[in-house]
Structures are given as structure tokens and as C-alpha cells.
Chains A and B, each alone.
Chain A
Amino acid sequence: MNLPFIDTIWTVRGSLALIPPRTSAETFAALDDQFQADGTRTAIDGDTLTFRKKDPRAQDKMAIYRSGTLTVEQGQTTSRLVYAMNSGTLLFCFALPFFFVAVALLLKDAKTSGLVFAGIFAALYIAGRILEPWLIRKAFTKRLNGEAEAPDTAPVAARDPGAPLQQSAHHA
């Protein structure tokens, strides 16, 4: 299901240049530790890695993500990692302010507390929507490019992580 813009609520997308350029096999090997976590299943098909998580550990660096894809795209002399990942936690946090506003309106004894928590979750959602993409980009950059911060690459077309990925024209 392709829901452009709306799925930005729960989908984290990004891309980073691989310095020096790497093949998909080298890239996924470098990221392997990231996916060696309880409740995580991965599958590699050509230049695309697909993962799915169930009940990840609290300290799993990717605990907020439920599923996603990572693709290595090869240019003439460059390569880049493109990722799109779904987060059930982001969606849940996004929905919570609406839920607690409803609680505040329906329960006469919970008006103040319901509205206060609705505000807290709205703030938490904004914080998480900024923080978590930054953290995962930092983690990928560290594993792939060492400490060097990878420059952001050109915007990537909106993609449904659940849909089949387009194969890169240049396979390593």
C-alpha cells in the first residue's frame, strides 16, 4: 500500500553515500551486527535487505522498527544505501494524543490529566520523529563509513517498504 506523505507518520526514509563505494554484499556484511538481535529476521535478495522484527529487546538500537528494506544503489563510480523502515511505535505515539483527548472528553474526572498526557505524547511524537531517524542514520554511518558523517544523497522517491523493490541497474 503506497500512502505518500501520510506514511511519513510511521516510516523513516533516508539514504547515505557509501565512502568508499561498496558492493551490496560488503554493505550488508558491515551492517550485519545491526541485525543480529533477538526477534529479528532478515532476507537478502540481490541488492536489497529486508528485515522484520517481533518483540525486540529494549536496548535493541532498532527496537522502534517493525520492518523495512535497505537497498544498495550503484552509480558509475559511487554507491549509496537507501532505506525505508516502518515503525509501529511512531504510529502508536502519533495516535496517543487523539486517544487521550477522547478520554478527556468522555470521562469527566479525567479532563485535565487526559489533556496533559495528550500534550506530552504530542511532544514525544515530534521528539521521536526527529531523534530516531537521526540515531539510525548515525548508527548506519558509523558502521559503514567509520566515524565520518556521510553526506546526504539526492532525495529518494517515496517508496512503500512492503512493496517489491526496483532492482538497481548496476549490480556489483
Chain B
Amino acid sequence: MNGVRVGKRVIGADSPVTVGWDNLPKVEGGPFKRMFFTYFQPAVLLALVLFWMYAPDSIAKASTAIGIGIGFKVLLYILEWVNPRYKSWSLTWKELVVDLFYVAIAYTLIRYLGKNFGSDVWAEHILKSFDTEKFTWFTSMPLLVQAFLITLFADICYYWMHRGMHNWYPLWLSHSVHHYITQLNINKGQIGNPTEIFLIGLGIGGFFDFLPRAALLAGSLGMSISIYQHANIRFNTPRWWLFLFNTTEHHSVHHSLDYEASRSNYCNTYIFLDRIFGTCVDGEAELLGMEGGRRMSIPEQMTYTFTEGYKSSKAFLQRRLHPAAVPAE
């Protein structure tokens, strides 16, 4: 397999990756279906932006956002069933149980940890001694600009955290478990070692609680853009959307079995960050995972970070303490 040169890298040398937009499969079916799956993503984004900008305070609350989030996920489940991107990523009963187990862990144990030991605690302490007067320049900007800047700042933090996970071994130990997923669907973003789910949850969200409407709008921007990255739905994604935002297409490349392809598309929301930092690969991949697509069991997912960390540390110490015992290569 020769692969395709993208900048200084060769993509697809280990496993097939479609590079570029022109070769991507299109939505098949009648004109309504094609139109629906072409404009669905922009329409949802527009609808949510309008809702959070103009809805009265009586309904523009966090509980409404949670309700919309759950309803939207149910809708995406239906779309995965109606128009899957790949049959080989189809949801099975076992995959659903495993996925929802991780979702449940995230909503209960990890959320509890985050609330009591994570960034929410730091945010609460910082906000107590925070002079909001000094942020008048920010709060005087249009609501949509505030929300965009919040998501942009959050995504820059996410980008570097994620890129760090792929380049610094201790963080990779935590993140690698997520890369053993062999198919994408709407809940796959939650699959991983709990240490990673905690780390990736360390964000800046809590720092913007003093701007409730902007924070909710930012949350809906994130949801209506980044939620698709793990979805098994075939869209005719518009080119301008592909240029600006992270998509399933981009994220499937990131999860590809191909090593070089997996070291691309690190952002969560704005793919133009990857374009700016030189890590964007436009394309799509069907074959995903690590070690030839080996599927990890839940016990291994839970322990891999620690067992591999122990093995690596032991080997490192042996090399340092008994260098002569290590055979020369």
C-alpha cells in the first residue's frame, strides 16, 4: 500500500484512507433524502443558535439544554439507523450496552469526580475572587461573538491536550484505549479509560458560569458541531462546513488503522485549528482501531492504562539500573 502524500506525510500506507473530498461516497436516495442529509447539520446549528439567542429566560435554562441534548441524541440514533455511513459500523445490542455503560459512568462517577476534584472546583474558587467588572469588554460584545470566543478558547485548550495525548507517552497511555474502538457511533466519544474521560473533561466550562446565556449558547454551538464526529451517519456535508468544522469524515481519519492518519485532526469543534497548526487531513476512513482492529474488552479498557504503565515503568527502570542486562539491538 503506497498511501497519498499530504504535506510532508504519507497517509494511508498502513490501512486504506480516502484523502480529499471528491472520492467520498454520497447520500443515495430520492431528492428529499439527499436534501435532508445535505442541510441537516447547518439547519440544526442555525435553529439552536436562534433558540439560545432569542428564547425567553424562563425557558433558556440548563435543564432545557439537557433535554435538547437527550432528544437530539435520540434523533441521531434514528438517523444512524436510517442512513448509516458504513454497515460495518452498525450498532449491535452488545455495542449499545458497552457504549451506554461508558455514558453512564461519565454521567455518574466521572461527573462526581469532576464536580468535587476537577476543573469545576478550580473554577468555583477562582470565580469567588473574580472581579467581573474587568470583563465588561467581553460581556459588552454581541452574544454570538461571546459564545464563539468561549468555544474557540475551549477548543484551543482541547486541541493541545489531545495533541499532547498523542505525543507524550504518559498521556498516550490514558488516551490509547479510546483508539481501540473499531467503529464509530453517537456514543463512541465516551469510550476510553476513565482517567482519560476525567482528563478530557478538565475544561474551562465552569469559568463562564457568570455568563449563563453565553455559556448555554456556547454549549449548543459545541453540541451542534462536534456531536457528529463519532456519528455513523452519511451526510453530504457542505464544503464550507468541512472547511470550518470537525466532522465524522475528519474524525474517522483520526481513528484510522493507519498510523500517520491517526496523528491528525485533533480538534473537537473547529477543524480550521488543525489547518492552522498543520495537522489537518481531509478525508475519510472505514477501517478503524489499533493492532489490526483488535477489539478491547471492558476489563482491559479499564486496566490497560495502568498495566501498560507498570510494564513501561518497569522496563524503563531496568534499562536505567541494569543497562548491561538489556540485549543490544
Q: How far is the CA of A114 from the CA of B109 in the complex (A)?
A: 9
- Please tell me if B115 contacts chain A, counting CB pairs below 8 Å: yes
Chain B residues within 8 Å of A31, by CB: none
| Residues A63 and B293 in contact, CB atoms below 8 Å apart | no
| Choice from A55, A59, A117 contacting B108 with Cβ under 8 Å | A117
Contact A93 B97 (CB under 8 A): yes
Residue of A nearest to B182 (CB): A58
Q: Could you tell me the distance between the alpha carbons of A57 and B287 in the complex, rounded to whole angstroms? A: 12
**In contact, B107 and A113 (Cβ under 8 angstroms):** yes
Taken residue by residue from 206 to 217, chain B's Cβ proximity to chain A (1 for < 8 Å, 0 otherwise) reads as: 000000000000
B108 touches A110 (CB 8 A): yes
Q: Which of A77-85, A121-129, A142-150, A151-159 contacts B (4 or more CB under 8 A)?
A: A121-129
Contact of A110 with B112 at beta-carbon distance under 8 Å, contacts A57-B295, A117-B100 already known: yes
The interface residues of chain A, by DSSP majority, are classed as helix
Interface residues of B in 280-319 (CB under 8 A from A): 293-298, 300
> With a CB–CB cut-off of 8 A, which chain B residues contact A109?
111-112, 115
Q: Among residues 128 to 170 in chain A, which have CB atoms less than 8 Å away from a CB atom of chain B?
A: 128, 131-132
Complex: how many Å from CA A124 to CA B97? Answer: 7
Inside 8 A of A128's CB, which chain B residues have their CB?
93-94, 97
- Known: A57-B182, A59-B88, A124-B100. Is A64-B93 also a contact (CB below 8 A)? yes
Please report the C-alpha to C-alpha distance between residue A32 and residue B107 in the assembled complex, in whole angstroms.
Answer: 42
Nearest neighbor of B296 in chain A, beta-carbon distance? A55
Additional A-B contacts beyond A57-B295, A117-B107 (8; CB < 8 A): A58-B295, A59-B90, A93-B97, A96-B104, A107-B109, A109-B111, A110-B107, A117-B104
User: Could you name 27 residue pairs across A and B whose Cβ atoms are closer than 8 Å?
Assistant: A55-B294, A55-B295, A55-B297, A56-B295, A57-B295, A58-B182, A59-B88, A63-B94, A64-B94, A89-B97, A93-B97, A96-B97, A103-B109, A107-B108, A107-B109, A109-B111, A109-B115, A110-B108, A110-B109, A113-B104, A117-B100, A117-B103, A120-B100, A121-B100, A121-B101, A127-B93, A128-B97
